[in-house]
Chains A and B, each alone.
Chain A
Amino acid sequence: MTYSKGGRCLPSFTALATILGLALAPLVAATPAGAQDRTSVKIGYAVSKTGANAGGAAITTIPNYRLWLHDVEKNGGLELPDGSKLPIELVEYDDRSSAEEVVRAVERLAGQDQVDFILPPWGTGFNLAVAPLFDRYGYPQLAVSSVTDKAPQFVQRWPRSFWFLGGGSDYTGALASLLSAQVEAGTINNKVAMVSVADGFGIDLVSAARPAMAEAGMDVVLDRTYPVGTNDFTTLLNEAAASGADTFVSFSYPPDTFALTEQAQVADYNPKVLYLGVGAGFPPYGRKLGDKAEGIMTLGGIDAKNAQNMAYRERHKEVTGEYPDLWGSVITYASLQMLQEAIRRVGLDREAVSAELSGGTFQTVLGETKLQDNRLRDLWLVGQWQDGQLVGVAPADRPGASEVILPRQPWK
């Protein structure tokens, strides 16, 4: 039934577009691409504006693309090495949360629209789906919203791909060592109750967490998965409460994270460590819970003393109407700043831009930013809500880290 979504006129429209494309192709190819003849820089992206991924894309990706485009426009355009500035011409597609659609859209951006740069889609799976295309057409891929332990291999395979959010074992390793330090300090027992969503993110994280917990001497007494779309967690929470674990960990998606939070309050379930998945770093989460959020931990976090980041947060609020989330958003924006700066340094040649992204040092909203082997390694791996702010608590030796406060206070 899916085909009828686009209506029956789709084949004829595609045919028409193809004919037009063929007719125009020689013209486009004949145009010299020199900066002096250009009137704009074409930037394109395909992102999930509708469908199952829309919720995530609407938090981490789309607002930052909008903010960046807004900032570039205010700046008078993208600056080139000769000091001239060109406005951005935007080509935007909705991939409707379908992997086939995102591949088709990127193919179209590269082949038909012939954009100068393509911004990545939202999600680990989607970034992997389009990586071969970015590589084939020679576009640098700033894969931000993708968590994968395989990034080093991907960099080998696709040398122009850049991975900004680390891998599952980074996050779970940091969590496990944080927990074992707390066990040593006598704050908590070494038992962990762990639940995860049976989908990409949950599977990746929990498979990384199992060995990490074992290595850190933590005893996983409950390890359960649940299907996507589950909204009743009564039984899971009851089991977790009965397991005697002081630590509750969930690798969950936003709706599950919200439901778990609500239902833990109803069940008056008070583990000493409450670590929840994606969604616990969304600003409305902290706002809605108020004092009750204190002590809840999740992936990500920020350094609340970093002035650039705090200024970015205010600007994000001003332009998009909402504060950015406290994990991927700031990194998305920083990756765009890197692209902008690389273009200013070396121009619109995609090969040169890729090389600059890979080797250069940049001033971004994260502070001084430099990739290692095409990967961003300076990340906040565990964050904790403290005084209404999700602050980074691990790695503890990173400048700007806050001290973790445990045990978490019970719900009031």
Chain B
Amino acid sequence: MTLTTALIAGLVLGGTYALVAMGLTLQYGIARIMNLAYGDTIITAAFAAFILQGGLAVNPLLGLALVVPGGFLLSYLIYRLILSHLVARASDRGALEVDSILTTFGLLFVIQGVLLVLFGGNYTSYSFLNVAVDIMGAKVAANRLLALALALSIGLTLYLLLTRTRWGTALRAVAVAPQSAALVGIDVNRAAAFAFALGGGLAAAGGVVISMYQTFTATAGVVFTMKALIVVIMGGVGNLLGALCAGLLLGVVETLVSTYVDPGLTLAATYAIFLVVLLWRPQGLFGRVAR
């Protein structure tokens, strides 16, 4: 396996990580909700895609168009009905963090329980677009390539929106200083609800794409939450570009270690690079020092 092949395989793997992490970074960075049920949103979307594909014979790509708005709406409702009350009563950021962690931890079990009742604990999978695409001599599965393409396009589009538009500036203002943002006429609650819902939509997109090539169970959500959390913290909380780069970096490192060292050490490598980044830049690759 040549270096180019390994790099391409790594980027493709990293695309999945990045796609999964970007929603969480929005939720945590802007809405300030540390959403432990994030992975379960992904799994819910994966099941939705599975049903659409298997039961109703809907092309998963078309499924994206249905499931992503669904994830957006569901997350919006969760924020408005449950989380906004926590935000309203929290005295400071720390209190909100603790409350939101506890609440979403509970939410995790609610979602998981519903999925278990509906689908049971079985492994679920279907395959879609499992065909080889040749990129510079490396054979890559089309479905994984799709994940990378989606991650790149969503990441860059949202990045441009956040940095170049008035609406994006308002969201960033909320992320940086929620109290002061209200002073200049930004509806903080609305902005946070929107960011949280957007994160949910991204999670749903991740879920649909992942369901095309990865086996999942009703209880597998926590694995995605953990991976996403690592990527988010590495990239800098609330930073989309950071999540994108950290995700890709993680994929490349895992593949290089697996190719040149030992496949048994991929997990160790993940945490080693996580540690190195945190020691070197505690605020994350792209994060700003907290004020």
Contact = CB atoms under 8 A, between A and B. Distances in A.
Nearest 6 A-B pairs (CB), nearest first?
Answer: A54-B121, A58-B121, A255-B215, A227-B267, A266-B141, A226-B263
Interface in A199-255: 224-227, 229-232, 234-236, 238-239, 242, 254-255
B1 A242 contact: yes
A58 B1 contact: no
Contacts of B266: 226-227, 230
A20 interface: no
Interface in B152-177: none
A259 B214 CA distance: 7
B132 A227 contact: no
B123 A234 contact: no
B1 A254 contact: no
21 contacts: A4-B102, A5-B109, A50-B219, A52-B219, A55-B122, A58-B122, A59-B122, A59-B123, A224-B264, A225-B263, A229-B223, A232-B13, A235-B9, A235-B259, A258-B215, A259-B215, A262-B127, A266-B132, A266-B141, A279-B123, A288-B125
Contacts of A230: 263, 266
Contact of A288 (B126, B140, B254, B267): B126
Contacts of A377: none
B218 interface: yes
Contact of A254 (B116, B123, B141, B263): B123
A334 interface: no
A310 interface: no
Given A227-B266, A242-B1, A266-B132, A235 B121 contact: no
Contact of A235 (B1, B131, B132, B141): B1
A21 interface: no
A126 to B, nearest CB: 15
Contacts of B122: 55, 58-59
Interface string A13-49: 0000000000000000000000000000000000011
Interface of B: 1, 5-6, 9, 13, 102, 105, 109, 112, 116, 120-123, 125-127, 130-132, 139-141, 213-215, 217-219, 223, 254-255, 258-259, 262-264, 266-267
A265 interface: yes
Contacts of B125: 258, 288
A122 B112 CA distance: 21
A86 B105 CA distance: 43
Contact of B130 (A231, A235, A238, A265): A265
A72 interface: no
Nearest to B132: A266
A288 B105 CA distance: 35
Contacts of A195: 263
A62 B6 CA distance: 42
Given A232-B9, A232-B255, A235-B255, A224 B262 contact: yes
Nearest to A97: B219
